Structure 1
Amino acid sequence: MYSTPEKIYRRIQKELLAGAIALVGVLLLGTLWYRFIEGWSWEDAAYMTVITLATVGYGETRPLGDRGRLFTIGLILMGVITIGYIVNRFTEAVIQGYFQEGIRLRQQRRLMKSLSGHYILCGFGRTGQQIALEFQAEGANFVTVDLDDASVEKARQLGYVAIQGDATLDDTLLQLRIDRAICLVAALPSDAENLYTVLSAKTLNPQIRAIARASTREALQKLQRAGADAVVSPYITGGKRMAAAALRPQVLDFVDGILTGADRELYMEEFRLDPAACPCIGQTLREAKLRSQTGALILAIRRVDGTLIGGPTADTLLMAGDLLICMGTAEQLRQLNQILGPIRPQQLPRPPKH
């Protein structure tokens, strides 16, 4: 399925092809008539057909009888109608910029083939638009897909890479190179669509991280059972945040300032301790001197078995596979990245422009 400009482009493409086929048919008809009915040579038959269709005003190649002249009149009419149709379609294509649309489609196909380490955003409604803004602020490499033509056009107008398609279908996800993606966010309008999308994504790429939107607690549980790594309910989360804003407004403002926004000074990032690259494994935080070397703060450590250590002390041991949740400025996190190596090195925050 295609968006409106793509549909029009393909319609024009088919009409131009049909016109070209019709013109070839008329040329063939005229040549065969003069060759077999009038008994001319192939060269004379083809020449007569071309000058007749081109209406250049040359005389008859050989004398024609009444039957031949009547056929020639019909051949001229067919040629004028066919060529006029082709010119009309071609002019419309030029004026409306459909050839530019074709170039854009080819560029999009090349881009899809080159996608790797990207995020797939399914759904460009109100929730999807906010997610796209956050992705853009973080400099994330992402592509969005939606079944609604208007949503796709809006995403493109905002400068996002967007395609029109049904995210619940395997073919659509394969087109988005889900086999090379690192995360899929299902923000479609209905819980059923999000459930199908997560199931398809996990089937095609079991290693992908799947995040889904849920409207109810029941849907939240079903999405978790379907394999979603994280499920977010706007209503439940929104209620919790509103309560936090009422009870602990300064804390919420501080956390929001770290997690979102393009002009923030502090960032949070995840780092995985790779046993093949990290020299700090087997050391304590005191021995690793990460704080003194980079200035970044280690907020928590999640062990491989899922155990979460909040506020680790200087005596906390760093182990292979640990996930470090850190906070600092963009430069501090970059320095920490050189030592530890993040899960998503392409997502490291960029220093704010002054």
Structure 2
Amino acid sequence: MTGAIALGGVFFIGTLWYCLVEGWSWEDAAYMTVITLATVGYSETHPLGSRGRLFTIALILLGVVNIGYIVNRFTEAIIQGYFQEGIRLQQQRRLMESLSEHYIICGFSRTGRQISKEFRAEDAPFVVIDADMESVQRAQAEGYTAYQGDATLDDTLLKVGIERAICIVAALPSDAENLYIVLSAKTLNTGIRVIARASTEEALQKLRRGGADEVISPYITGGKRMAAAALRPQVLDFVDGILTGADRQLYMEEFLLDPAFCPFVGQSLQKARLRSQSGALVLAIRRLDGTLIGGPTGDTVLMSGDRLIGMGTAEQLRSLNQILGPIGSQQLRRPKNS
């Protein structure tokens, strides 16, 4: 911009000189100024005296300097933009390749933004995918790792490490697109856990048949929560305080019992003494066949493949995680406020 303004000023000065000092017409003055600045080598429009030729020499030098400055800035902008884009893409590729045991959020709409906030509060590693560049820039501005691309394509999912991820959340507004994501994710990583958003009852059933491990309908879930808030407000507040938020004191976590690492498989809860050793409370046990045991007693036997659902402070849950085996349960996320 500065170079263009300066070049325009030189053109204006040259035109005025030839017009007012040399006495030429405006057309001849403008033409002479242009061919002088362009250094095309045409002959003089009208004969010039010594004074006019000295001014023309100065005009040529000014033109060369200004045009050279403009070309230099333009070339620098192109080269810097090219290399900066290359560096940015390289950094993004390295970041995606470094992701492991992470979560993938497809869509950064209102649902995706809320999921991102909860994942950040849990200090869980995750990446956001969205086809809209503005949404990606908004996610990056909030400090999230984001990738621009179509989440329904296998290539996009592979670039964000779908084969190394532990869970993917399909939170796009379109039920059809979420179904594509479910099918692609299960094909690329058969062991990944898939959570999908559904807008209708019909879509909810299709997503489950498509392989989604959990299907959430914002309307159904919202209605249930509103009813619970009306009927059991204190219970809802207590559960919300445990499940979400960064300022909570009690947490809930699940632990997988692996017989290769957990020394308590085959023992009863009373004999294992998990509560007395860690201080955490075992609320429920999900058997390998899907059976849920709520409020297990001391006689309940721990079995291979069980998932224990525990509640306690961050320190109590970390202690329980170590007691059950350093590898026998999923890695416990460290809350930021502890």
Within-5 A mapping of 1:202-213: 202-213=186-197
Aligned length: 272
Q: CA RMSD in A?
A: 2.1
Task: Name 2:162's counterpart in structure 1.
Answer: 178
Q: 1:285 to 1:156 in 2, by over 3 A?
A: same
Give 1:262's match in structure 2, choosing from 230, 246, 255: 246
Identity %: 71
Which runs of no fewer than 5 residues in structure 1 stay unpaired?
Answer: 1-54, 56-79
Q: How far apart are residue 305 of structure 1 and its match?
A: 1.0
Report the Cα distance in structure 2 between the residues aligned to 1:327 and 1:101, rounded to whole angstroms: 47
SS at match of 1:188: coil
Residue among 147, 150, 161 paired with 2:134 = 150
Contact residue 330 and residue 351 of structure 1 kept, 8 A? no
Task: Give the distance between the partners of 1:152 and 1:203, measured in 2 at CA.
Answer: 26
Is the contact between residue 264 and residue 272 of structure 2 (CA under 8 Å) also seen in structure 1?
yes
**Map of 2:28 onto structure 1:** none
Corresponding letter in the other structure for 1:349: R
Within-5 A mapping of 1:1-354: 85=71, 87-91=73-77, 94=80, 99-341=83-325, 343-345=329-331, 347-350=332-335, 352-353=337-338
Distance (whole Å) between structure 2 residues aligned to residue 264 and residue 304 of structure 1: 30
> What is the letter of the counterpart of residue 272 of structure 1?
L
Residues 226-264 of structure 1 show CA distances to partners (whole Å, capped at 9, x for unaligned) of 000000000000000000000000000000000000010
The question of whether the paired residues in 2 share the 8 Å contact of 1:265 and 1:352 is answered with no
Supply the AA of the counterpart residue of 1:202.
K
Q: CA deviation at 1:294?
A: 0.5
The question of whether the paired residues in 2 share the 8 Å contact of 1:145 and 1:152 is answered with yes
Q: Gaps (5+ residues) in structure 2?
A: 1-38, 40-65
- Given that 1:300 and 1:309 are in contact with CA atoms closer than 8 Å, whether structure 2 keeps it comes out as yes
AA in 2 matched with 1:89: T
Matched residue type, 2:337? P
CA distance in 1 between partners of 2:72 and 2:127 (Å): 37
2-structure distance, mates of 1:167, 1:283: 45
Q: Secondary structure at the match of 1:238?
A: helix
CA distance in 2, matches of 1:261, 1:270: 18
- Shift in Å, 1:280: 0.7
Distance (Å, rounded) in 2 between the aligned partners of 1:111 and 1:200? 22
Residues in 1 aligned to 2:73 and 2:184: alpha-carbon distance in whole angstroms? 46
Return the letter of the residue paired with 2:205: Q
Q: Quote how far apart the aligned CAs of 1:86 are.
A: 6.4
* Greater CA drift, 111-120 or 329-338: 111-120
Secondary structure at the aligned position of 1:275 is classed as coil
Distance 2:269 2:75 in 1: 71
Distance 1:105 1:298, change over 3 A: same
Larger Rg: 2
Confirm or deny: 8 A CA contact 1:214 1:233 kept in the other structure: yes
Shift of 1:197: 0.6
* Cα offsets for 1:292-344 (capped at 9, x unmatched): 00000000001111111000001111111111000000000000000114643
* SS of corresponding position for 2:308: strand
Secondary structure, counterpart of 1:269 in structure 2: strand
Shift of 1:107: 1.2
Q: Distance in 2 between the 1:310 and 1:125 partners?
A: 35
Q: TM-score, normalised by structure 2?
A: 0.76
Judging changes above 3 Å, is the alpha-carbon distance between structure 1 residues 260 and 89 closer, same or farther for their aligned structure 2 residues? same
| Alpha-carbon distance change, 274 to 82 in structure 1, aligned in 2, over 3 angstroms | farther
1:27 aligns to what? none
Distance 2:77 2:91 in 1: 23
Q: CA deviation at 1:104?
A: 2.8
Over residues 136-169 of structure 1, what are the superposed CA-to-partner deviations in whole Å (9 max), with x where a residue is unaligned?
0000010010001111000000010101000000
1:348 maps to a residue whose letter is R
For the residue of structure 1 that corresponds to 2:190, the secondary structure is coil
Deviation for aligned residue 1:85? 4.9
Q: Is the 8 A contact 2:285 2:294 kept in 1?
A: yes
User: 1:18-45 CA distances to partner (integer Å, 9 max, x unpaired)?
Assistant: xxxxxxxxxxxxxxxxxxxxxxxxxxxx
